[in-house]
Amino acid sequence: MNSVEAMRIFLPAVIAFLFGMGLTPFVTHILYQNKMWKKKAGKVALDGTVASTFNALHNDREVNTPRFGGVIVWGSVLLTAGLLQLLWFLFPNIFNDLAFISRSQTWLPLAALAAGSLVGFFDDLFEVQGKAGIRLRARLLIVAVVALLCAWWFYDKLNVSSVSFFGGTLELGVLFIPFFVFVALLVYAGGVIDGIDGLAGGIFATMFSAYAGIAFFQNQMDLAALCGAIAGGLLAFLWFNIPPARFYLSETGTMGLTLTLTVVAFLADTLAEGKGVLVLPIIAFPLVATVGSNVLQILSKKLFGKKLFRVAPLHHHFEAIGWPAYKVTMRYWIVGVVVAIIGVVVALF
């Protein structure tokens, strides 16, 4: 790795981190001045019943901690991308290698980030206005539509119709499109990991850092720079989200990030002769565990009439059995780092 290649990844990450740190005081002032948090505590479980255990754990925090924390992340990323592109336009000889907006590598993930974050922003806005927010079914439909457009771009514009498989590739043909949508929905479902101070920020930062490394070794420098910028923005968010959290990542953060993560994984797959999708369940294992615990909880209640966990998803179960929230968060971070390293190793070898 020469100095220029290193700068193409680390400089966007540093700039995004600095943008995030600079944005936070202004965003914080607006959020607290306008009381941008839920007006009524309480959560309903996926099966429609009252989530009594969760509510007992989190009622106090839900009504005095603002949402919209994701603005720090996607705002810093978009500002970083725009700044470096502007500098390249003004000083092409100096900043040619640092601008990372490109049709082949970053148009699609940036579009996914913007689309998901915008929809999530309105969901958060409805929530803080005391409304019900966008219903889960509607959000899933929106994610599916955005994913469908991304899948069509891969299939029609980038000529991608296969995914990495053990020892080679698996040709899906037109079935690549529904497979992409299915993966996007699963990753989005893992976004409910945003439930404990600092948890989601650390996990997402680790995952995007892992894909930055994978993209770098695939010589997808623009994609690596974007992932680095996202990680930088997340670290700025995390700086202010160490318990007690200043704000929640919330839907404007998780929807955009999960859609972007899906697109990044596919860009790092057969298009780059890599294993981006194959290692996604490894790198995103904390999200897999989150989705899996929800599914198992629902099945257990429907089939056996009793809960498998005290409360789902899994990280809240650990809270319910007596783990302090900070201990759950830090142990998840450790697991996240370990599986990210394993995922990168598998992707490269």
Strand partners, 50: 44
Strand partners, 179: none
* Mean pLDDT to the nearest integer, 113-122: 96
Residue whose structure tokens are 């970083």: 80
Q: What pLDDT score was predicted for residue 63?
A: 76
Banded pLDDT at 132 (limits 50, 70, 90): confident
Taking only the tens place, the pLDDT of each residue in 171-205 is: 999 999 999 999 999 999 999 999 899 999 999 99
Tokens representing residue 40 in the block: 């009524």
Q: What pLDDT score was predicted for residue 7?
A: 84
Sort 140 into a burial class: Cβ within 10 Å, 0-12 / 13-18 / 19+. middle
- Tell whether the torsion through CA atoms of 289, 324, 257 and 14 is positive or negative: negative
Taking only the tens place, the pLDDT of each residue in 94-107 is: 888 889 999 989 99
Indicate if the pLDDT at residue 44 is higher than 90: no
Please state the domain extents for the chain.
3-348
DSSP H helical ranges for 34-135: 52-62, 70-90, 92-95, 107-128
Are the CB atoms for 193 and 286 separated by under 8 Å?
yes
Strand partners, 44: 50
Nearest to 81 by CA among 107, 112, 104: 107
Nearest to 265 by CA among 174, 343, 192: 343
